[in-house]
Amino acid sequence: MIFEHVVVVNDPADPQVSDLSREELWFGLLCRAEDPRPFLPGLEACTILERHETSLVRELQFGSAVIRDRVTLVPMESVSFESERTEEHAGGTLTICIEEPAADQLVLRFSYRTTLPESGGDDSRYAEFVKSAYHQSDLDTVRVIRMIAESGRFH
């Protein structure tokens, strides 16, 4: 299954929402890479197994399920999470890109590639459920990044 969507972060037409800088967005994405617990409900522990200049290898513990992934960082631009396929987990990739489609407008583009099928009866309904869950999780990611920025942890 391939799924992609955009979450608007800064919208000049909506004065109710405070703007975030690219640096604040990037810092929030780094927080998600280093300690994803606030971003992923049900995640009990995250252990960083390897650390390199632009990547991490992590082990994520959701109850008895353990997922291993590699995080690749392109500073100030994108973060990619590639998880291994296991009996408990379908595996796949998520790439989050910071984009600026217009002056003073920042968005996050979330691109998913999983081993889940996209079509065919029950698989189709399941794929739509998964897409909806991904979308909600991505909205929550922006909400958590806003909370981090407002808390002053960035500075």
How many structural domains comprise the chain? 1
Range of the domain at 13: 2-151
pLDDT band at 21 (very low <50, low <70, confident <90, very high): very high
- pLDDT-derived band at 26, boundaries 50, 70, 90: very high
Tokens standing for 55? 């990547």
The answer on pLDDT for 120 being more than 70 is no
CA 103 to chain centre: 24
Give the pair of three-digit tokens for residue 124: 């189709």
Mean pLDDT score across all residues of the chain = 90
Which pLDDT score, from 0 to 100, does residue 129 have? Answer: 84
Least confident of 13-27, 30-44, 56-70, 123-137: 123-137
The answer to whether residues 62 and 41 touch, using CB atoms and an 8 Å cutoff, is no
Return the residue matching tokens 């280093």. Answer: 34
> Is the predicted pLDDT of residue 45 greater than 90, yes or no?
yes
Total residue length of the chain: 155
Residues above pLDDT 90, as percent of the chain: 64
Contacts with 123 (C-beta within 8 Å, 6 or more apart), sequence order: 116, 117
Query: What is the per-residue pLDDT for 119?
Result: 64
Range 136-151 average pLDDT: 93
pLDDT greater at residue 124 or residue 47? 47
d(CA 154, CA 26): 10
More confident of the two residues 72 and 122: 72
* Least trusted range by pLDDT, from 26-35, 45-54, 129-138: 129-138
What is the predicted pLDDT for the residue at 116? 74
pTM of the model: 0.90
* CATH number, residue 101: 3.30.530.20
Helix-, strand-, coil-residue percentages of the chain, each rounded to 5: 30, 40, 35
Q: Treating both helix axes as pointing N-terminal to C-terminal, what angle do 22-34 and 122-151 enclose, rounded to 10 degrees?
A: 110
